Amino acid sequence: MSFSIERYKEESRKVDVTGIAWDEVASSPLSKGDLFCLHYMMDIENHVPLYLSHLLVTRACMDPILTAFLACWNYEELWHGENIGRLLNLYGIEFDTQDRIANVRANLGFQNSVSLMSTMAGSWLLKDFSAVYLTIGAINELSTLTGYGALIRKSGHPVLKDLLSRIIKDERRHYAFYYNSAKEWLTANERAQRIDRWMLNRVWVPVGQGVKTQEEVDALAIYLFDDEQGEEDLLELDAKIGKLPGLSGIKLMSKALYAARERVRRDPRWAWRLIDNEGWAIKPPKKSPVGQLTTRKLTEPQEATTS
Ligand SMILES: [Fe+2]
Ligand SMILES: [Fe+2]
């Protein structure tokens, strides 16, 4: 698995959706579980600019190769969220994308600022912060593309399959960048390997957690991976990450699935109630209407003037 930043910079573009049969989106059904996962995935794709804001204040971003990657990566992820939203709208689920994104962000509240500052401080205190961040990047991209693969399998929806297969190609490139960069950092660096393993076992959470609640994360994991094929996919994912120097035998995604199973065993309604009750709707925040947060809704559209 090779990766060239120069080639990536040249070739980076928005996902090509030419020829996707958008007019056939509503012709095949999507289950409540499929819809739950699509809303989760769309929200997390759309959350990338805020995630980026956390990264740009860290020590890792002293590296110009990383910032070049992030500049292109951010743009590509934008179009993943846009296209998943488009598919949901065409399926007949009505929402205003900008309102939804603003509501997700507003619901994060103060916690977002605390998290940003602690990431920044942690990165400057920890010399090998980059090793941890790059490894987490690799896990996130690999679990994202594994999740898209599982949703293609679960839904059997032909248009969704076409769209997600195209998005998966982007995610593979992102994964290659992070994996190779993490490998480079960790090779022959025992201190970084120890810190990386220690941090992953303690602070790593599945992609989306923090923006989404534990129960929402569990609902996605249970719907996509709680069968033989799904469990195998996650064990394979862990094995791939375990090939990084110092991470042999590490269990992350499979451990998250087993923990989710345990919570469902204790309360059989756990996670499933979100799917059954169509819990993908994002409630507007109580105290911060979108207009106050963005100021957009408060200003009247102004006519273009010529000078
Ligand atoms: Fe993406
Ligand atoms: Fe990605």
Mean pLDDT (whole number) for 8-18: 96
**287 pLDDT more than 70:** no
Shortest-distance ligand to the CA of residue 73: 2
Distance 249 CA to ligand 1 centre (A): 27
Q: Give first-to-last CA distance, the chain, whole Å.
A: 55
Distance 145 CA to ligand 1 centre (A): 8
Per the model's pLDDT, the better-predicted residue between 15 and 123 turns out to be 15
Shortest-distance ligand to the CA of residue 69: 2
**188 pLDDT more than 90:** yes
Distance 170 CA to ligand 2 centre (A): 6
**291 pLDDT more than 80:** no
Distance 301 CA to ligand 2 centre (A): 35
Contact in structure between 97 and 82 (CB atoms under 8 Å): yes
Shortest-distance ligand to the CA of residue 79: 1
Model pTM score = 0.92
Distance 211 CA to ligand 1 centre (A): 16
Q: What is the mean pLDDT of the chain?
A: 91
Distance 212 CA to ligand 1 centre (A): 16
Shortest-distance ligand to the CA of residue 43: 1
**305 pLDDT more than 90:** no
Distance 97 CA to ligand 1 centre (A): 16
Q: Which of 192, 166, 150 is nearest to 83 (CA)?
A: 166
How many other CB atoms sit within 10 Å of the CB of residue 148? Answer: 23
Q: Please return the burial class of 293, using the count of CB atoms within 10 Å of its CB with bins 0-12, 13-18 and 19+.
A: middle
Q: Which of 103, 94, 148, 139 is nearest to 238 (CA)?
A: 139
108 band by pLDDT with thresholds 50, 70 and 90: confident
Distance 306 CA to ligand 2 centre (A): 42
Shortest-distance ligand to the CA of residue 167: 1
Shortest-distance ligand to the CA of residue 174: 2
Distance 167 CA to ligand 1 centre (A): 7
Distance 45 CA to ligand 1 centre (A): 5
Shortest-distance ligand to the CA of residue 80: 1
How many other CB atoms sit within 10 Å of the CB of residue 282? Answer: 17
Distance 178 CA to ligand 1 centre (A): 14
Q: What is the pLDDT of residue 307?
A: 46
Helices 228-241 & 214-225 angle (0-180, nearest 10): 110
Q: Which residue has the tokens 């970084």?
A: 192
Distance 110 CA to ligand 1 centre (A): 26
Shortest-distance ligand to the CA of residue 142: 2
Q: Which of 220, 78, 207 is nearest to 150 (CA)?
A: 220
